[in-house]
Structure formats: C-alpha cells, structure tokens
Amino acid sequence: MGSVRYQLKLAYDGTQYFGFQRQAEDRTVQLVVEAALRKLGWNSESILFAGRTDRGVHADGQIICFDFEWHHPLEALIQAINANLPNDIAVKEACIVGNDFHPRFDARVRTYRYLITCSQTRQPLEERYAWRVWPKLDYSALMQAAAVLPGVYDCAAFGTPPIQGGNTTRAIYDAQWLQVDDAHFQFTISANAFLYHMVRRIVYCQMRIGLSKMPLEEFSNAIRVAKLLQSGLAPAKGLNLVEVRYSLSEQEYQLIKTSGHYHL
C-alpha cells in the first residue's frame, strides 16, 4: 500500500502552547505534532487541520490529516505517534479517509465548550481549565442570553473574519448553558464556523449579563444591527474545541435550508 490520507483526532492542553498553528519559532501544537510525525518518517511540508485554536485554548476533538505510507495497523500508528508526543498532547483516534478530504474545508459543524467556576477564592485544581468569576452568576439570565444566539445571521457583533473583508455570516446551530452544580457553569455552542475571538466574546458578554452588568437588550440589539460589541474577552483557558463534525443533523440542515444560505 502506498501513501494514504490519515485522519487523527487530537486532544491537547493548550496552556504551554502559542496556539495550534505553526508560527515562526514559537511552540505550537502543529509544530510539535509535525515533529513527532517526522520521527516516524513523514516528510511532507505541513499537516492539515480543522481549526486554529488560540494561545491557551484546549481541545478534545481537534481533527488533523496527513498523507503517509504506513505498513502497520491504525492502532500501531496511534501508539507510535503518542510515544513521540509530550504528555499534554495525545492522539485519541485514527482512520483512513479519501485523498481529497480536508479537515477544515469539509467540516460542517464545530462545537466549543467553555467552563466557568464561581468562587471568591482561588481553585488551584480548576483554574488551568476554567474561568473563575465572582459573584455567582444568575443561571436564568445566562439561559435567556443563550436562547437568542441560534440562527443564521451576520455575527459581526462577536468578532472579525479570519481574512480581512471576509464574510461574517455564520450558522449557530445550538447554544446552551448547563449548571453542573452550585459553583460550575458550562457553555456549549455549535456553529458551521466561528469568527476570530467569537466564542470568547460571546462568553464574556453573557458573563456580564449573568452578573447584571449588561442588559439582555444590549446583547440582542448588537446581534440585530451586527455591530461589534466593544466588550472584553473571556480568558482562553476556559475554552475547549470538543468536536468537529462532517455532516449535518436534520435539524441543522433545515436551519440552513430555510435561511437560504446554502453556501455555508
């Protein structure tokens, strides 16, 4: 068997990385993964990947692809790559895909999760992966804010396009808060794609709503007029790319169909 295209699902703790994408000499996830592959004989220029997570952002479901000639089972490939990766990155799954598959351009749904812990004092075992806020958030207000997000519309209120002058219309399929317990809140959002800093700005605005520092109407009006909210950003450490999917559910398909944005 000659060279084939392998798809891997990666998990990583982004704390010690300058984001996913390779950049100059900074330590990035892409740089480290490619170095591990080269130890196995891979000699291409670059891997393909589903999304460019920012500095400090984590992932449990990042998707990458690369072409490689490997004469052993998939499980052996996973073990070989993991043996050459640091402890804060791991391959979770592997499969063979078509030679024309692209993890970014073929992706239809991306899902991020953001964790918040409400505590007046430091939480040393949590703060690497969650944003600590105080006072406690109003869960009802958070749910009301999340409820206005789903739909297909211009999302310029929440971010800028990756390419200057690019399209800012996005399909947000789902946005929900879960109160895990008295102190922990989890926000999950799924969309076809996201603008630069979009999820972190959405979380920050909702946090302000949950603390009664921003009216829900201001949040809703910014969406309606597609005007960038000049608010802060939630810290990167609470954000996790949990899933990338390559097909739409019936409900997601209907949202796209009824919106008329077939190019999404």
Q: What single DSSP character describes residue 160?
A: B
Is 211 within 8 Å of 138 (Cβ atoms)? yes
- How are beta strands 131-133 and 109-118 bridged, if at all? parallel
Q: Estimate to the nearest angstrom the gap between the alpha carbon of 223 and the chain centroid.
A: 21
Nearest alpha-carbon partner for 16 in 89, 74, 72: 89
**120-144: b or e for each residue (b if 16 or more CB lie within 10 Å)?**
eeeeeebeebbbbbeeebeeebbbb
Q: What single DSSP character describes residue 196?
A: B
Is 202 within 8 Å of 159 (Cβ atoms)? no
**Does the annotation count 138 as an active-site position?**
no
Is 91 within 8 Å of 10 (Cβ atoms)? yes
As a whole number of angstroms, the distance between CA 75 and CA 115 comes to 32
78's enclosing H/E stretch is: helix 74-83
Q: How big is the chain, counted in residues? A: 264
Is 188 within 8 Å of 174 (Cβ atoms)? yes
Q: Which of 54, 60, 106, 154 is catalytic?
A: 54
**Structure tokens given for 215:** 């009216």
Catalytic residues: 54
